[in-house]
Amino acid sequence: MNHVKFPNTVQKLIRSYRLRSNCLSLVFGAASIVGSAIWDADLKSVVAGEPTWGRFLNAAQQTEVKLPREWAPDKNIAWTSEIEGYGQSTPIVADDQVVVTSTSGENKDNYHVTSFNLADGKKRWQVDLTNPSPFKNSPMVSRAAPSAIATSNGFVAFFEGGVLAAISADGKTTWEKNLVEQYGPIEARHGLAASLEANDKHVFVWVERSDDPYVLAIDPKTGDEVWKAAGVGATSWASPRLISVGDSQHLVCSASGKIIGINPANGERLWSFDGVSNNTSCTPMPAGNGRFLIGASDGRGETTAGVAAASNGLIEITPKDDGSFDVGYKWQAKKATSSFGSPVVAGDTAAIVNRAGVLYRLDLETGERVSVDRTSAGGIWATPLVAGDLIYLFGYKGTTSVISLTDGEEVAENRCWEADAEESRFGSGKVLYAAAPASPYLLIRRGDRLYAIK
């Protein structure tokens, strides 16, 4: 078993994490985005001595990492690199490299896993894979949306067409699985978007397809199936999330009208909660032991538009004496609704951003409104990032608002590229999908380009 020695900054963050909550991790990522443990033993990042962003963590949480506050196309951008094709996943940072996924071809014929040097953005390696489920490449379907994950052996990448592959830190494919060949066709409204999750033994893959959805536990070293369980059975573009409950963990999956908890050891369904609606996009966000924030939207395609606010809130999982669990809201929002970005813990508040870029902050214990502010970011597809007394809102059209958590003031309005007419069209053009801290940079992922901000 490999053990990683973390630098002093990360050790401080871990201490902070343990004091604040047993289930918040160090990091956040479209969609978006939190593992309930930090780089678990067998799935620790492949690098010692460097801060890493080892998985999709569609969450923001308080950290002591100092991030840049101001940037512009001609200011504070250390490097930028072109990504082949187009993708919507979060950058993964490990082994002094940044790994992203993307797809290309008229029918998303090809998938790509590409590594760039963290220091200068130069391409290190690229692995090209064939899509077993070609589908028209358009803004109306997911395009390399699931984020990869770093393991002790390198990286595991998953694509919505059904490709699952492990790649070493030097870019060699160690195993590859065709989930379509093994489990049947993958058909889902607008495609899949669920990123990978992991604990100390398994990588979890959630395939919420239209018929016979499923969740897999995979051995990251061999690619072998450990267990296979039924999915939720409803529309979802969220990701599975491990939530600490007492001394154990539940793998929580959220889909329209239902949230379920799975035992990550054997795939047993532990509980199901259906007192929710419009929760298709937001990933459950750890907010203390046995607690998570859930987001819901009045966005496109929701069948109960206008009632989403009540489904935004804090959910508690309470163990019972007979081994079962009570699951329900501790509080529900009155007016705040989410967009594609999930609610996040920001100090002693829950931060929720609606489709118009309005930031609501609600007391984390009671749900009472603390503040409401309109921001320059507009609608967000990436989940916000909290760093110290600041919260970063990554508008999908390219504007990042930096907001003070102390007084609610917008301290900076930033862009990596100049605004143009393309950005006015939903889901097309230059869309900001994700951000990740990677000392000494803040990384921003556009569909076709990666930016390192200093």
Q: Are strands 385-387 and 225-230 parallel, antiparallel or unpaired?
A: unpaired
Which residues, 6 or more positions from 317, have their beta carbon under 8 angstroms from its beta carbon? 243, 245, 250, 261, 271, 290, 291, 292, 325, 326, 327
Nearest to 269 by CA among 213, 211, 230, 320: 230
Question: Is residue 261 classed as helix, strand or coil in its secondary structure?
Answer: strand
| CA dihedral angle for residue 338, residue 329, residue 333, residue 412, rounded to 10 degrees | -50
Q: What CA–CA distances, in Å, run from 289 to 37, 247, 268, 279, 443?
A: 12, 9, 20, 22, 30
Contact of 214 with 207, CB cutoff 8 Å: yes
Given a contact cutoff of 8 angstroms between Cβ atoms, the answer to whether 436 and 91 are in contact is yes
DSSP secondary structure letters along 232-256: -SS------EEEEETTEEEEEEEET
Give yes or no for a contact between 292 and 34, defined as CB atoms under 8 angstroms apart.
Answer: no
First and final C-alpha spacing in the chain: 35
Write out the chain's pLDDT in tens, 454 residues: 333 333 443 333 333 333 333 333 333 334 433 333 333 433 444 444 343 788 776 333 455 568 999 999 999 999 999 999 999 999 999 989 999 999 999 999 999 999 999 999 999 999 999 999 999 999 888 999 999 999 988 999 999 999 999 999 999 999 999 999 999 999 888 889 999 999 989 999 999 999 999 999 999 999 999 999 999 999 999 999 999 999 999 999 999 999 999 999 999 999 999 999 999 999 999 999 999 999 999 765 445 545 789 999 999 999 999 999 999 999 999 999 999 999 999 999 999 999 999 999 999 999 999 999 999 999 999 999 998 899 999 999 999 999 999 999 999 999 999 998 555 455 557 999 999 998 889 999 999 999 999 9
Would you give the DSSP letter of residue 89? Answer: P
User: Is 42 in contact with 201 (CB distance < 8 Å)?
Assistant: yes
Phi, psi of 309 (to 5 degrees): -55, -40
